[in-house]
Structure 1
Amino acid sequence: MSAAPLDRSEHRSGPLLDHLARRMRLRSESALTPLGLRPRHLVALTVLRDVGEISQQSLASTLAMDGTNIVGLLNDLEAMQLVERRRSPEDRRRHVVELTDDGAKRLNEAECALASAENEILGTLEPDEREKLYLLLRRAASATTVTCTTVILDDVPSDDNR
């Protein structure tokens, strides 16, 4: 008995996304290096710009980082004077973090540098195609994922249904 032929009409996006992500990551890192930033710095600065003042604990939760890593990240950004960290006036045990004016300027510079990197990687796409790609990726990133294993297990009848 031979195996069923592969359905070559199906396209797998994972390997292409992985390839583009690697190219984008390498190009982004080289664009951010002259600014003294790493991608994780950029993400934190972007969150701070978008939400304003936030507790250190909430920022850690938003970035899905543990306490030790968020302290290291904020130490880096504070040393560059891109963020300000201070005790909360309401609860002296809490720290609040805020983007500084220098942080907002550096973030803007980084976004311009990244736009150039993105143009290099995605330059063959028309502007409307890039917007569509962005919206699709954003939707995919926010969706709850279902794995093949989950689907297979859900389709297997339980002992009660046999």
Structure 2
Amino acid sequence: MTSLPVVNQPVHRSGALLDQLARRVRLRGESVLAPLGLRPRHLIALTVLRDRSGCTQQALAATLEMDGTNIVGLLNDLEAESLIARRRSPEDRRRHVVELTDAGVKRLAKAEFALAAVEDEVFAALNEAQRETLYSLLQQALGGGEDIACVAAINE
């Protein structure tokens, strides 16, 4: 009987644990967003708009890696709730600039507060320093912390 060659492998694999944590955060997150009338993709769009102080509809679609039809549907949802406003770009009348409204800023703040409570629950076994280390390691694993976290969550 021949034995298989020994391959240097880490003793622990993280994929399954990350998947389990992601599911837990996603399910609990969706449950706290629903009463606010938001889905994860709404939250991400609002966050990008806040962090960039608004942007063109095309730039938002590119950031979120969404096609034109889907971004219009997403923005229609947010506009129906008066969370965003679209206006023609003064530089190029063919483009729309998208910005958060005051109602959007307030709803986003409520959502972030609710999601912070979710993270506190899910990561209760970790102290503050461990949470910061986890965050840094996840950013590093994703390649430097671009808008990757936002893009991943939008593809639901």
TM-score tier (shorter): 0.7 to 0.9
In structure 2, what is the Cα distance between the partners aligned to 1:7 and 1:136? 22
Q: Following TM superposition, by how much is the alpha carbon of 1:7 offset from its aligned partner in structure 2, in angstroms?
A: 6.1
In structure 1, what is the Cα distance between the partners aligned to 2:70 and 2:101? 21
In structure 2, what is the Cα distance between the partners aligned to 1:95 and 1:8? 51
Structure with the larger RCO, 1 or 2 (CA within 8 Å, 6+ apart)? 2
Amino acid at match of 1:19: Q
List alignment gaps of at least 5 residues for structure 2.
145-156
Q: Following TM superposition, by how much is the alpha carbon of 1:13 offset from its aligned partner in structure 2, in angstroms?
A: 1.0
Aligned position for 1:69: 70
Aligned position for 2:92: 91
After superposition, the C-alpha distances for 1:56-110 in whole angstroms (9 at most, x for unaligned) are 0000111111111111110010001100011111111101100111000000000
In structure 1, what is the Cα distance between the partners aligned to 2:103 and 2:113? 15
Q: Following TM superposition, by how much is the alpha carbon of 1:142 offset from its aligned partner in structure 2, in angstroms?
A: 2.9
In structure 1, what is the Cα distance between the partners aligned to 2:142 and 2:53? 23
Matches within 5 A, 1:145-156: none
| TM-score normalised by the chain length of structure 2 | 0.86
Aligned position for 2:147: none
Q: Following TM superposition, by how much is the alpha carbon of 1:38 offset from its aligned partner in structure 2, in angstroms?
A: 0.5
Q: Following TM superposition, by how much is the alpha carbon of 1:139 offset from its aligned partner in structure 2, in angstroms?
A: 2.1
Q: Which runs of 4+ in 1 moved over 3 A?
A: 4-9
In structure 2, what is the Cα distance between the partners aligned to 1:54 and 1:9? 44
After superposition, the C-alpha distances for 1:91-132 in whole angstroms (9 at most, x for unaligned) are 111011001110000000000000111111001100110011
Aligned position for 1:102: 103
Aligned position for 2:54: 53
Q: Which has the larger radius of gyration?
A: 1
In structure 1, what is the Cα distance between the partners aligned to 2:143 and 2:86? 29
In structure 1, what is the Cα distance between the partners aligned to 2:9 and 2:53? 49
In structure 2, what is the Cα distance between the partners aligned to 1:127 and 1:81? 36
Percent of counterpart pairs with the same letter? 64
Aligned position for 2:142: 141
Q: Following TM superposition, by how much is the alpha carbon of 1:53 offset from its aligned partner in structure 2, in angstroms?
A: 2.1
2:10 aligned with 1:3:
no
Aligned position for 2:117: 116
In structure 1, what is the Cα distance between the partners aligned to 2:143 and 2:110? 27
In structure 2, what is the Cα distance between the partners aligned to 1:18 and 1:50? 27
Where 2:99 maps in the other structure, the secondary structure is strand
After superposition, the C-alpha distances for 1:30-56 in whole angstroms (9 at most, x for unaligned) are 010000000011111000110012000
In structure 2, what is the Cα distance between the partners aligned to 1:65 and 1:34? 25
Amino acid at match of 2:12: H
Aligned position for 1:155: none
